[in-house]
A = this chain, B = another copy of it.
Amino acid sequence: MTGQSIIDRFAALLGPRGVITDRDDIAPWLTDWRGRFHGAAAAILAPASTQEVAAAVALASELGVPLVPQGGNTSMVGGATPPADGSALILSLRRMNRIRSLSPDDDLAICEAGVILSHLHEAAEVVGRRFPLSLGAKGSATIGGLVSTNAGGTQVLRHGTMRALVAGIEAVLPDGSVFEGLDALKKDNRGYDLRQLLIGAEGTLGIVTAASLRLVPAIAARAVGWAGVRSPADALALLRLAEARLGDSVEGFEIIADDGLGHVLSHIPGARCPIATRAPWHVLIEVDHADMREPGPAERLEDALAQALERGIAVDAAVAANEAQAQAFWRIRESLSEAERAQGPALQYDISVPVARMPAFMVEAADAAERAFPGTTASSFGHLGDGNVHFHVRAPRGTADGPAWIARQGQAINAFVHDAVVAAGGSISAEHGIGQMKRAELGRLSSPARIAAMRAIKAALDPRGIMNPDKLIPRAGEG
């Protein structure tokens, strides 16, 4: 555990509000929010400005004290949980929660790392714009964490991941120097793009302290539809049809297996199937317009769905008649994880493959997993248009002790699913990153060239190894 004399040095830099040592105050931040990783830290550093972050990192570098950057602590992979041995301090960005500027003319917002996503949503709305990235944890997740994990969500189809929305970055590098890259230049060819390197680096190369983010016009009118289809291949055909007819106003396109819908209908009070005919697969589509042009999104979506029915791509379809119904359609999608948990223990994978291969992957990988692990049921749901689904393998019916099943079968099932993903040319982490959870699998499944390059970059920029230790980079022996 880091000693008191070291903590005193940080307190001298950051003042009493800048160093938290009360055990009860620290406790909630030592465990990831899913309760799978547990760490220890003698203090949370809470700098209030970029200069204070820089001073803290310079001191940590001098003393060789590792730092674990933390925003909303909503990592799905233990990416913000300190090591268990107490060797590191947490560096929280939550006090840096200012929106430094918000310019509707330039469609840009400059946010400090600790700004909570939903606060940015609200601020953008006030000036007639929106920040088009959203996810379940929006009430806690912070801009710094979203940048550092290249977060995704349900609007990637149209607007891309965080990488596409970041126009500039300010960061403190591991030696305490400040990288000033907030200027939003559309063209800039001055060598290695350090911003791109910091996006998705999970805090292992430095601490993002602020970002320039792109805004888009507010939604003036939206329509949400539901369609039943026979297969993921038909769902993809429906997406292509929708894109051809509706262009990039298709903002959401989610695929849901009928068994997943069934779990929602069983476990979520008030949930109803939006269409009369149950089909093996379901699709939720959202179409957004930034203006009030005619025909509006509902009429255009109805037209597209009618075509899909006519061509036999969809077996049934409905467009929400009002905003309450639209929200009810989305609630089904958003309740899937909760309903699955109520259904019983499961292993969950956040994976991607090239979009064109996804329909076959969804069917074949699920069949193969069920054959390889008798009694399990496998299915997937999510962002078909991004080639990214959440692939679940559920424990055999009646499994009482979930953790015991996972302890017994988890590693083998992980390897099986990840191998299938790699064989399909995909990624074992589409959205959630690597953190602690997937570090060894990343090592096992990556080419030596990729791992060697990552290790070399890490060692070059963080030679003392103080930035977010034990995250992302496979250890020796892990690949």
What is A's interface to B at a CB cutoff of 8 Å?
103, 105-106, 149-150, 152, 156, 161, 163, 173, 175, 177-181, 183-194, 196-197, 199-202, 205, 248, 352-356, 383, 386-388, 425-434, 442, 446-450, 452-454, 456-457, 459-461, 472-473
Bound complex: CA A447 to CA B191 (Å):
13
Q: How many copies does the complex hold?
A: 2
A191 to chain B, nearest CB (A): 5
A234 to chain B, nearest CB (A): 15
With A187-B388, A191-B202 already in contact, the answer to whether A105 and B356 are too (CB < 8 A) is yes
Most buried by B among A383, A453, A454: A453
Bound complex: CA A447 to CA B170 (Å):
13
A192 in complex: contacting residue of B201, B356, B427, B459, CB < 8 Å: B201
Chain A residues touching B, majority SS:
loop
Most buried by B among A175, A177, A186, A200: A186
Is A430 a contact of B191 with CB atoms below 8 Å? no
Is B187 a contact of A386 with CB atoms below 8 Å? yes
A173 in complex: contacting residue of B193, B429, B449, CB < 8 Å: B449
12 CB contacts below 8 A, A to B, read A163-B193, A180-B447, A183-B426, A185-B353, A186-B355, A187-B430, A187-B431, A188-B429, A189-B429, A190-B429, A191-B472, A193-B199
A457 in complex: contacting residue of B152, B386, B457, CB < 8 Å: B457
A197 in complex: contacting residue of B196, B452, B459, CB < 8 Å: B196
Is B189 a contact of A432 with CB atoms below 8 Å? yes
A442 in complex: contacting residue of B191, B194, B446, B452, CB < 8 Å: B191
Is B179 a contact of A447 with CB atoms below 8 Å? yes
With A192-B200, A197-B197, A442-B191 already in contact, the answer to whether A426 and B180 are too (CB < 8 A) is no
A391 to chain B, nearest CB (A): 14
Known: A187-B430, A196-B197. 8 other contacts (CB 8 A): A185-B426, A186-B388, A187-B386, A189-B433, A190-B428, A191-B201, A192-B197, A456-B461
8 tightest Cβ-Cβ pairs between the two chains A and B: A460-B460, A196-B196, A177-B449, A456-B460, A187-B430, A188-B427, A183-B425, A186-B386
Is A178 a contact of B449 with CB atoms below 8 Å? yes
Which residue in chain B gives the minimum CB-CB distance to A461? B456
A191 in complex: contacting residue of B356, B426, B473, CB < 8 Å: B473
Is B183 a contact of A354 with CB atoms below 8 Å? yes
Which residue in chain B gives the minimum CB-CB distance to A458? B192
Is B457 a contact of A186 with CB atoms below 8 Å? no
Is A354 a contact of B184 with CB atoms below 8 Å? yes
Is B189 a contact of A434 with CB atoms below 8 Å? yes
Bound complex: CA A388 to CA B186 (Å):
8
Bound complex: CA A448 to CA B179 (Å):
9
A200 in complex: contacting residue of B185, B193, B461, CB < 8 Å: B193
Bound complex: CA A352 to CA B448 (Å):
38
Bound complex: CA A356 to CA B183 (Å):
12
Question: Which residues on B sit within 8 Å (CB–CB) of A197?
Answer: 192-193, 196-197, 457
Bound complex: CA A306 to CA B200 (Å):
46
Is B190 a contact of A442 with CB atoms below 8 Å? yes
Is B187 a contact of A156 with CB atoms below 8 Å? yes
A149 in complex: contacting residue of B105, B189, B356, B429, CB < 8 Å: B189
Question: Which residues on B sit within 8 Å (CB–CB) of A426?
Answer: 183, 185
A45 to chain B, nearest CB (A): 21
Question: Which residues on B sit within 8 Å (CB–CB) of A473?
Answer: 191
Bound complex: CA A180 to CA B425 (Å):
10
Which residue in chain B gives the minimum CB-CB distance to A462? B456
A189 in complex: contacting residue of B150, B180, B355, CB < 8 Å: B150
Is A430 a contact of B354 with CB atoms below 8 Å? no
